[in-house]
Chains A and B, each alone.
Chain A
């Protein structure tokens, strides 16, 4: 797996294929006039989903959680280094056994925020987001909303996967541009056999 990831950009992402199709629509639109609006509307719906496993809503929530786990500062955080790409991709591969935990955990998390804070997680202030996550980490959550996974188990899972994404090899979807290696002052990519030489 080394192709461009459709979920790569931080803004509204257009895959290369979508761009090509829109270009095609432009040609058709110029030809058939008013019929084009309908075609464009249908194309908007049939565009390939951005994620392999997550829904758009789940991914949006998870991106915000991951960004609190590894926040961006002068060095990129979880969002800009592709945490969601890593987790989404691995849930369709080596980490597939955790799919259920994510599906249920994210829903429990969503409802916990609504119930405890009266707002969506994404809409909370940064300090409130951290407080909300600490509650989940400690398991101090409405018990009725969490069964399997438990709040603690879900939180630990997301922390572990976010760390893997940020510090692991970029070949798996995260650590974009070796951001974490740069942060730690390690050669990136490592030149085998050369890393022992100090730079002048």
Chain B
């Protein structure tokens, strides 16, 4: 029996898909959202440092499981099958809300220059650095809606580098914890401009949900108190409340069906009982995250697009990027640990742009609370990793360590990419993603600069021992994965137009970080949500019923 035809199908209930579903269903469109994972709750895995979304030693708490392998390049021409809890898999999550269930919930707006990286700096050799086809001003109202509707606590008044905003945050900023207070004083002595990190987390009761209780286990974990705001507890319930939206969980979309005239007709998927189904729709929005969105497009072959939907010019799956996270660790003589979670409270944006000889930079923030197992590998060079010396170090410094991390904005690289593996298939028989390539050497240069700045900051704050971490040239992506279906005005060098509409397929849209031309020097979640409002607003303004064009 055929499934009832709907106006819109949304593939993926994460940061992008959740927002789009809300916008479309409130505009009166009938919507079906597909999510490969399930609804999840805190109680399933609690505060388990070995099984969460950040430390997945014993598996991912919030998906996916081993039914969804990937293939990664391990050297020239050698490939290896990896499971979702391995680092090189570059996992995000698979559940209703996706990464927004378990993220650290930093709520950054990108800066104006982040949308104009090429015209500001020029592309370095070996990079496809480009401007976005939209500006910060275009996206500003969407950032505002994301902040208001999903819920952000913050105060940018102390940050002179912040992009202009029309409305204040709906909730007051979180106060600094002990680390934040130490770092704030030091930053001011250095002439820097510290300010509280904006968070998709309730500093006061908001939207019918509780205020944060400052849990130690936050980043990587679901919230036991419903104070962390993701799409699963905000826009998705709003979408369902309209009566126009249906959410089908444990449903794996295998293909967007594109007809002989180059229009999307719907999606083929496997339902929760692994039965093949076909859902027709007037339009399709793909929001699977940078790797899975590109995979779905490449797996959607048709007569007009034999190499995958939107892939006439071989841009789908390319420019995979994340952030070249670098960090400095400092040991203190006095206790710096106060157990006020999640711990990351303070930031400086002084080094996001304007660094001599460098294209961009990073926001610097203090790190989320180091948990006991995670801390067991945080050691200055040469420090024994085991034995009595290890145990003594844990005892002495677990509560006397502060870390500052930088989310280094990366230079997009054409050959940092995901493709479809020619032989490996997942549990449902769908060809899996295979990842290859590496990041740009300029990212490492920026990383070195950023750790030098953060080391000065920590030393000023009183650290007696410091050491730094700069990533290697390996492939980036991870939970900040972006860039694989970039938006642009030239169909030959991009996948979608400025509204997320796939070139040449008028009723196929993308709404997630795949669209990001560059990924800012910040955590990307709020920008993905803002793009959801941008793309969703465009669709609902132009949808006139029946076929979309």
Chain A residues proximal to chain B, CB less than 8 Å? 68-71, 73, 75, 77, 90, 93-95, 130, 133, 159, 162-164, 167-169, 171-172, 180-181, 183-187, 190, 192-196
Q: Which of A77, A94, A164, A190 has a CB less than 8 Å from the CB of B216?
A: A190
- Contact call A167/B376, Cβ cutoff below 8 A: yes
Given the contacts A95-B58, A164-B57, A130 and B395 also touching, CB distance less than 8 Å: no
Task: Report 20 cross-chain contacts, Cβ distance below 8 Å, ordered by A residue.
Answer: A68-B386, A69-B386, A70-B386, A94-B51, A133-B386, A163-B373, A167-B371, A167-B373, A168-B50, A168-B373, A169-B48, A171-B48, A181-B372, A184-B394, A185-B398, A193-B224, A195-B341, A196-B213, A196-B340, A196-B341
CA distance A93 to B57 in the complex (A): 12
Chain A residues closer than 8 Å to B213, beta-carbon distance: 192-194, 196
Chain A residues closer than 8 Å to B338, beta-carbon distance: 196
Chain A residues closer than 8 Å to B47, beta-carbon distance: 169, 190, 192
Q: Is B217 close to A, CB under 8 A? A: yes
Counting residue pairs across A and B whose Cβ atoms lie within 8 Å, the total is 97
Q: Is B459 close to A, CB under 8 A? A: no
- Contact call A71/B57, Cβ cutoff below 8 A: no
- Contact call A184/B50, Cβ cutoff below 8 A: no
- Contact call B376/A169, Cβ cutoff below 8 A: no
Chain A proximity of B121: nearest CB distance (Å): 40
Q: Is B119 close to A, CB under 8 A? A: no
Nearest residue (CB) in A for B376 is A163
Chain A at the B interface: mostly helix, strand, loop or mixed? loop
Q: Is B357 close to A, CB under 8 A? A: no
Chain A proximity of B96: nearest CB distance (Å): 22
CA distance A195 to B340 in the complex (A): 8
Chain B residues closer than 8 Å to A70, beta-carbon distance: 386, 390-391
Chain B proximity of A88: nearest CB distance (Å): 14
Chain A residues closer than 8 Å to B214, beta-carbon distance: 193, 195-196
Chain A proximity of B432: nearest CB distance (Å): 18
- Contact call A69/B387, Cβ cutoff below 8 A: yes
Chain B proximity of A65: nearest CB distance (Å): 10
Most chain A CB atoms below 10 A, which of B85, B388, B399 = B388
Q: Which of B46, B59, B387, B395 has a CB less than 8 Å from the CB of A184?
A: B395
Chain B at the A interface: mostly helix, strand, loop or mixed? loop
Taking A163-B376, A194-B213 as known contacts, 19 extra A-B pairs with beta carbons closer than 8 A to each other, sorted by chain A number, are A69-B387, A70-B386, A130-B387, A133-B386, A163-B373, A167-B49, A167-B371, A168-B48, A168-B49, A169-B49, A171-B48, A172-B50, A180-B394, A183-B394, A187-B339, A195-B214, A195-B339, A196-B213, A196-B340
Chain B residues closer than 8 Å to A193, beta-carbon distance: 213-215, 224-225
- Contact call A73/B399, Cβ cutoff below 8 A: no
Q: Is B385 close to A, CB under 8 A? A: yes
Nearest residue (CB) in A for B392 is A73
- Mark B366-377 against chain A: 1 for CB-CB distance below 8 A, else 0: 000001110111
Chain B proximity of A126: nearest CB distance (Å): 10
Chain B residues closer than 8 Å to A180, beta-carbon distance: 372, 394
Nearest residue (CB) in B for A77 is B391
CA distance A68 to B390 in the complex (A): 11
Q: 5 closest A-B pairs (Cβ-Cβ)?
A: A193-B213, A167-B372, A167-B373, A94-B58, A168-B50
Chain B proximity of A51: nearest CB distance (Å): 19
Q: Which of B355-403 contact A (CB under 8 A)?
A: 371-373, 375-377, 385-388, 390-391, 394-395, 398-399
- Contact call A184/B390, Cβ cutoff below 8 A: no
Chain B residues closer than 8 Å to A133, beta-carbon distance: 386
Chain B residues closer than 8 Å to A164, beta-carbon distance: 50, 57, 373
Chain B residues closer than 8 Å to A196, beta-carbon distance: 213-214, 338-341
- Contact call A93/B58, Cβ cutoff below 8 A: yes
CA distance A164 to B371 in the complex (A): 12
